[in-house]
A and B are shown apart, each in its own frame.
Chain A
Amino acid sequence: MALEANYGMVGDFYTQNFTTTHTGDGDTLILNLGPQHPSTHGVLRVVVELDGEYVKKAEPVLGYIHRMHEKMGEVKTYLQYLPNMGRVDYLHALGWNWAYVGAVEKLMGIEVPERAEFIRVITCELNRISSHLLWWGAYLLDLGAFTPILYAFADRERIMDILQMVTGSRLTYCYYRFGGVSADIGEKFISDLRAFLAQFKARIPMFHELVTGNMILRGRCVDIGVLPVEMCRRYGATGPVLRGSGVAYDVRRFEPYSVYDQLDFDVPVGKAGDAMDRYDVRVAEMVQSVRIIEQALDKLPEGPFLNPDLPDRFIPEPGEVYYSVEGARGKIGVYIVSDGSPKPYRLKLRSPSFSNLSLFAELSQGTLLGDAISIMGSLDLVIPEIDR
């Protein structure tokens, strides 16, 4: 009685609209996953239509953490906008730092000293490891394993301590500047980082031993959410999601920026494109990031960390520029149109999570609810990045 009384026209625009277009014969349940839900990792909302435990249709609803980053870009000067970048993807803040700083440098033709490039590589890759570690813990949390995240956080904490030394913050870094970085890395940073890398390399086999081979985990990941290459292309998926499907596309390798062409690293790829492949790719990427950091530390040249001949004000000539880097979640792109004023005329952020989320609706169709959660976790979504 009570249940029926509350049906009829309840919910908001999305649920009602969803109800009128849903696929079932009326014998289905419309369920809102989120905006507050333990496994949407933030304020993502997914309206799903359930037939028993099967997901008939899923539709992500965005906009719960929209902060108008792109509009803010139009009303702030180039330098003022820089701190926004740490807030777009809070887990890989330095990737966004780099994409924006790189775009402005390209637009204004600012030279970056060699040492600054290497410092950027070191810190960005370190940030990538911390992002992947958090994903690793959170994904296993989605699958119901509570403990791994605490092991991941033990390592992530050390990374944050190391990055704090030079950036001054622990999460939403604003470290890169037009023409370099804001502070040089010192002896303490390098020795701490080397100690961390040595220890972390021994930790990854332990992670594998504890988690990767587990029968239940494999049952939840293998052959779940098989993502064909063709579908990746349609939705513009990038990063580990695309590489998990077997396409070795990595911006660092195919459109080398900074000093990545001087460094030796592999681009791990998966075969089947299932959740397990995406898992393997991310864990292998952490190993590759360690390799990159070690090489960069060895090659680190002396010199200035910030271009000494910077202009007093950053006012580019009219024109447009696109600059992309490889973020932890995929290709981060920044597109700036300048009209010759101190503020960008238009600023567009291409966020990898947005593309990766958009394929969720198709990928989760017909799966069990538990699988849909597993698939969503394996896409490694960061909601603020989707909403920008």
Chain B
Amino acid sequence: MTALLANPLVQLVIALLALLGFVGLNGLVLVWMERKVVGFIQRRPGPFEVGPHGLLQPLADALKLIGKQLVTPRGADRPLFWLAPILSVMPVPLCFLPIPFSPLLTGMELNVGVVLILAFSGLNVLALCLAGWGSNNKYSLLGAARAVSQSVAYEIPLLLTVLCIAFQSGSLNLNVIAGHQSGILHWNLWVQPLAFVMFFIAATAETNRAPFDLPEAESELTAGHHTEYSGMGFGLFMLAEYMYMIIICGMAAVLFMGGWDGPVAPGWWWMVIKIYAMLAAMMWFRWTFPRVRFDQLLNVCWKWLIPLGLANLLATALIMKLVG
């Protein structure tokens, strides 16, 4: 038994299965949390009928979505149309794999953890693009075009800020990066505040969350890339959106806040607390800000974030050279 458990392949399968459970559970929790947060911001109770404080509401929603008929619109490219939602959730467990919840609770320690996450989360754009193309709907097409140009633009500042941290820690291994920041005063957040702000802005844009939710801007494009999806097709897109939020917040927690490190009793719970605090901030943004316009969105990226990110990276490199 122990020999079997020591097999890295078995470990990987166990980790992936555990992460799938984690993904599903967190999806439900996040749906509930988002509705409660928006309820709080809008001064209403939010879901309250199903279960205590509406706790079972997301379960009911999920059941409803599963029970719905899956409609393929006329003229749609059937294989591509249904491949898109699957493709958008498929990389999610892989992205979770290198994120360390604690030194022990890591799906798989990888030397290229950061690269792995960024590479696989990039697949989501492809899914949105397919959804837009396969739907045979002009709103979807416009949404997909927006999604692609937005993701391409915002991946650059995201990478630039991640690179700063990689320079500092001398590693792309998330466990090593987190390990470097033991003690709240050693968090990268204090050394790289600009990078953190830029990372968070880019992350909000990368996950298509308001105020950067242009691919699905409902006042312009009704629902953007997922206009034509019914039932679980839409459900998968939504699940993927929430999962990428967790992934990107998990990355932020590891890169800038020391991962599992905390003022008292370090452990995986600190990681969860940090992730959910950042998620709450993202929800707060979504329900308070108006949406930016598309050209403004790209201007923020190309005119501000990328030059600032480059300058920050150069400064980091210079200081690392002088100090290190």
Contacts and interface: CB of A to CB of B under 8 A. Distances in A.
Contacts of B211: 144, 216
A3 B136 contact: yes
Interface string A360-382: 00000000111101000000000
Nearest to B295: A368
Interface stretch (B9-17, B41-49, B59-67, B311-319): B41-49
B222 A38 contact: yes
Interface in B118-166: 136, 138-139, 141-142
B210 interface: yes
A5 B289 contact: no
A220 B139 CA distance: 21
Interface in B245-299: 286-296
A31 B287 CA distance: 29
Given A37-B222, A373-B219, A368 B42 contact: no
Given A150-B42, A150-B44, A143 B290 contact: yes
A360 to B, nearest CB: 15
B206 interface: no
Interface in B176-232: 210-211, 213, 217-220, 222
Nearest to A6: B75
Contacts of A371: 293
B219 A141 contact: yes
Contacts of B287: 146-147
Contacts of B38: 146-147
A143 B219 contact: yes
A150 B43 contact: yes
A2 B296 CA distance: 33
B271 to A, nearest CB: 30
A214 interface: yes
Interface in A341-388: 368-371, 373
A217 interface: yes
Interface residues of B, number: 33
B109 interface: no
Contacts of B290: 140, 143-145, 214, 216-217, 220
A216 B292 contact: yes
A295 interface: no
From A1, A39, A146, A214, residue with most partner B Cβ within 10 Å: A146
Interface residues of A, number: 33
Interface string A124-149: 00000000000000001111111100
A195 interface: no
A68 interface: no
Contacts, number: 89
Nearest to A138: B219
B136 A151 contact: no
B220 A147 contact: no
B256 to A, nearest CB: 25
Contact of A373 (B210, B213, B220, B296): B220
From B42, B43, B222, residue with most partner A Cβ within 10 Å: B42
Contacts of B77: 1-2
Interface in A11-57: 29, 31, 37-39, 50, 53
Nearest to A145: B290
A9 interface: no
B289 A145 contact: yes
A213 interface: no
Interface in B15-39: 38
A216 B291 contact: yes
A246 B65 CA distance: 51
B75 to A, nearest CB: 5
Contacts of B293: 219-220, 368, 370-371
Contact of A147 (B41, B138, B295): B41
A220 B136 contact: no
From B38, B76, B291, residue with most partner A Cβ within 10 Å: B291
A154 interface: yes
Contacts of B292: 216, 219-220
Interface string A176-195: 00000000000000000000
B43 A39 contact: no
Contacts of B41: 147
A369 B139 CA distance: 12
Contacts of B142: 29, 31, 50, 53, 369
Contact of B291 (A143, A151, A154): A143
B131 to A, nearest CB: 14
Contact of A38 (B141, B213, B219): B219
Contact of A2 (B42, B75, B217, B220): B75
B293 to A, nearest CB: 4
Given A29-B138, A150-B42, A142 B288 contact: no
Contact of B288 (A37, A39, A147): A147
B210 A144 contact: yes
A144 B213 contact: yes
Given A147-B41, A370-B291, 19 more contacts: A38-B218, A38-B219, A38-B222, A140-B290, A143-B219, A144-B291, A145-B290, A147-B287, A150-B42, A150-B43, A151-B42, A214-B289, A219-B292, A219-B293, A220-B290, A368-B294, A369-B142, A370-B294, A373-B219
Interface of A: 1-3, 5-6, 29, 31, 37-39, 50, 53, 140-147, 150-151, 154, 214, 216-217, 219-220, 368-371, 373
Interface of B: 38, 41-44, 74-77, 136, 138-139, 141-142, 210-211, 213, 217-220, 222, 286-296
4 closest A-B pairs by CB:
A144-B291, A145-B290, A39-B219, A143-B290
12 contacts: A2-B77, A2-B136, A3-B75, A3-B136, A5-B75, A31-B142, A39-B219, A144-B290, A145-B288, A219-B293, A369-B220, A370-B220
